[in-house]
């Protein structure tokens, strides 16, 4: 029997710079139940979101991440625990970094250049379940994390905050992108396959 897999696929979308966090949630994100089930689709169509896609990593429209050893352990623990109190969040804080990096490995424990600028670490605006996937969406306003991004990852474990070096690195990917002072949405889709 083949083990199931979880693949993280990351895309970047240019969004209107004048949007506040509330505008972003209202227009870009679906309305979801506490468990992530979509109650009302996003007001912006998927077609419009696709037209806002921005190339990353030398022209690619998406990049895949690695789930860290700690992230694999966290997922397996969450599947095996018998009480909700024993579960730990996986995609608690998204961090973009600007540190020098040549690759990622499952043993990584931090995003290189973690918390390099204002709001380089952010809590997601939305978690939405669809079929065998969950889309975790985070907005970065024009003034957030301005500079060249080199890598990206989710911190979790229950102790992740917007403060540098908190939480456990769950995912990691190379993410070469000169952000500058423009607003973007990072869509991080986790896809379950077996």
Domain range annotation of the chain = 6-183
Q: Which residues of 170-187 are buried (b: 16+ CB within 10 A; e: fewer)?
A: bbbbbbebebeeebbbbb
Asked if 91 and 156 count as a contact pair (C-beta separation under 8 A), the reply is yes
Nearest to 185 by CA among 124, 154, 140: 140
For 40-70, what is each residue's pLDDT tens digit?
999 999 999 999 999 999 899 999 999 999 9
Q: What global pTM score does this model have? A: 0.94
For 68-116, what is each residue's pLDDT tens digit?
999 999 998 888 988 888 889 999 999 999 999 999 999 999 999 999 9
Which pLDDT band holds residue 175 (cuts at 50, 70, 90)? very high
| 88/131 Cα distance (integer angstroms) | 22
């Amino acid at each position: 029997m083949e083990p199931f897999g979880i693949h993280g696929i990351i895309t970047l979308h240019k969004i209107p710079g004048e949007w506040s966090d509330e505008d972003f949630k209202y227009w870009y994100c679906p309305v979801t139940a506490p468990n992530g089930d979509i109650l009302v689709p996003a007001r912006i169509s998927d077609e419009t979101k696709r037209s806002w896609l921005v190339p990353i990593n030398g022209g690619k429209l998406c990049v895949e991440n690695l789930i860290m050893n700690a992230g694999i352990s966290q997922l397996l623990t969450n599947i095996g625990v018998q009480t909700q109190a024993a579960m730990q969040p996986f995609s608690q804080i998204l961090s973009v970094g600007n540190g020098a990096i040549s690759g990622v490995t499952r043993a990584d424990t931090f995003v290189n250049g973690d918390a390099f600028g204002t709001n380089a670490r952010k809590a997601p605006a939305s978690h939405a379940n669809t079929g065998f996937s969950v889309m975790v969406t985070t907005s970065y306003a024009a003034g957030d994390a301005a500079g060249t991004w080199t890598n990206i990852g989710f911190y979790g474990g229950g102790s992740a905050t917007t403060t540098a070096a908190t939480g456990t690195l769950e995912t990691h990917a190379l993410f070469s992108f000169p952000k500058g002072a423009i607003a973007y949405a990072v869509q991080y889709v986790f896809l379950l396959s077996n």
